Amino acid sequence: MPTLVVVRHAKAESPVGLQDIARPLADRGKADAVEAGRWLRGSVGGCDLLLTSPARRTEETTARLLDGWGATPVVVDEERLYEATLGDLLRVVRGLDTERAEATVALVAHNPGVSALVESLTGEVVQLRTAGIAVLDVEGGWADADSTSCRLRVVHTARAETGGED
């Protein structure tokens, strides 16, 4: 059965005058992203494919997430994940290769889209915080992923020992 891991990027800085796509992770976000990876290593195991938004904060989250996870998936910058609508995210998930029928696929992107994606696929209201993770079991093929074929396994918000609230 395929597994979809939906991750909201870790806490980012908001420097004045910097374009949104160029925002870096805050120190807390860097630590939380590594902690998220450690949690995934113990809770999910490996990962086959990781799709990330091209925004700097998601790419930095991905790098640190993988450091903690120890997974070595194929990593793809997916342009459609930046400023994605729910429809965009559903098209990405439903367009996954059918050869990855038993794969674990991670998606690192932004709110409000990632929370809406989890709700749309599972029928459960989830509000992912920064460094938030939702793990979904996908019963059936990626192309048919919807609220009748996906089950929310767990939601987790990773916080390093030095991390605080949002």
pLDDT of 164 > 60? The answer is: no
As a whole number, mean pLDDT of residues 113-137 equals 97
DSSP result, 6-47? EEEPPPB---TT--GGGPPBPHHHHHHHHHHHHHHHHHT---
Q: What is the pTM of this model?
A: 0.95
Q: How far apart are CA 53 and CA 156, in angstroms?
A: 20
Domains of the chain with CATH codes: 3-12+22-157 (3.40.50.1240)
**Per-residue tokens: 80:** 């459609």
pLDDT tens digits along 1-56: 899 999 999 999 999 999 999 999 999 999 999 999 999 999 999 999 999 999 99
Can you state the percent helix, strand and coil of the chain, rounding each to 5? 35, 20, 40
Q: How far apart are CA 14 and CA 69, in angstroms?
A: 27
Strands (E), the chain: 3-8, 49-52, 74-77, 104-109, 132-138, 150-157
pLDDT tens digits along 64-104: 999 999 999 999 999 999 999 999 999 999 999 877 667 99
